[in-house]
Amino acid sequence: MAPKLLITRKLPNDVEARAAVSFDVCPNLTDGLMDQSALLARAEGVDGILATVTDRLDASTIATLPASVKIIASFSVGTDHIDLEAARARGIIVTNTPDVLTDATADIALLLLLGAARGAASGMAAIRDNTWANWAPTGMLGISLTGKRLGIYGMGRIGQAVAARARAFGMLIHYHNRHAVKGQEDATFHQTLASLLAHSDFLSINCASTAQTRGSINAQTLAALPHGAIVVNTARGDIVNDDALIASLTTGHLAAVGLDVFNNEPNIDPRYRTLPNAFLLPHLGSATQETRNAMGFRALDNLDDYFAGRVPRDRVA
């Protein structure tokens, strides 16, 4: 018999069609978010779960999963929504989907850089609200990327892809990572976040959400940025302290911000919506047809490996 697979959200049609070939699929026909009780009920008797970032697989949930569940394949590169230690304690395999969303997310980071630097939010509002009176030599002036220092916080796959794109705009690359990255010799490595921030006209947040990085962009660290800096975030919302970021935007210490991820999304801090210097997107980082298909196929590859007795390529727990 085919392994029984719970798919917690509606996935692209091609992904669901492939899943149906190899698995006895328990789909989420309504695409509604599952709370803990609903997920546990739907997981009864299944062999694996294909989960997404909207599923909060914390220690309590994992400890209560039915004994039949042997693997959780996450439709994501990040795994901060899954308690990996709890999964290890239960002997549940966890996999993710690295590599395939790198380019799409890096593209969004550059969109945020440009949108924030050129005041795209205010410009779009002027068009939509019909308040654009006339072209003016000093009207709607933004900030050029060329020649500016881009600080990259987290020089993994996505950080490196952002750097490659930013170089095409003539930006000077600085980065902070756990260690210097081979192939980035033309970029300036900073051993500390504080050093990076002091040398960043623009800051791109590309690090993973960990105990060390959560809340690391706060009042103290934002104050280390040069006056008039711009911050963009395509990583995770919990890396940023909202109160501190909004205060920096309101006082003018930061010129602008570009955000694709938020704390408590989609219920974001409503103050962001009132800021004319905030360029905001609804978590579009991996949102292309090609990327979402690739993510689904990668998750299914990991599931196929496990149920064929092989070690999944992208095992993280």
The residue type at 69: V
Q: Which CATH class is domain 102-280?
A: alpha beta
Strand order in the sheet with 202-205: 188-190, 172-176, 149-153, 202-205, 229-233, 254-259, 278-280
Q: What is the per-residue pLDDT for 193?
A: 98
Distance CA 16, CA 195 (A): 46
Q: What is the pLDDT along the chain (317 residues), one digit of tens a residue?
A: 999 999 999 999 999 999 999 999 999 999 999 999 999 999 999 999 999 999 999 999 999 999 999 999 999 999 999 999 999 999 999 999 999 999 999 999 999 999 999 999 999 999 999 999 999 999 999 999 999 999 999 999 999 999 999 999 999 999 999 999 999 999 999 999 999 999 999 999 999 999 999 999 999 999 999 999 999 999 999 999 999 999 999 999 999 999 999 999 999 999 999 999 999 999 999 999 999 999 999 999 999 999 999 999 999 99
Q: What is the per-residue pLDDT for 128?
A: 96
Phi-psi map region of 231: left, alpha, beta (phi>0 left; psi -120 to 50 alpha): beta
Q: Where are the domains of the chain?
A: 4-100+289-307, 102-280
Residues in Cβ contact with 238 at an 8 Å cutoff, skipping those fewer than 6 apart: 80, 209, 214, 215, 263
Tell me if domain 4-100+289-307 and domain 102-280 are identical in fold: yes
Q: What is the per-residue pLDDT for 270?
A: 98
Strand order in the sheet with 93-95: 24-26, 4-7, 48-51, 71-74, 93-95
Backbone angles phi, psi at 297, to 5 degrees: -65, -35
Q: What is the per-residue pLDDT for 142?
A: 98
Query: For the domain 4-100+289-307, what is the CATH code?
Result: 3.40.50.720
Task: Please give the positions annotated as active site.
Answer: 236, 265, 283
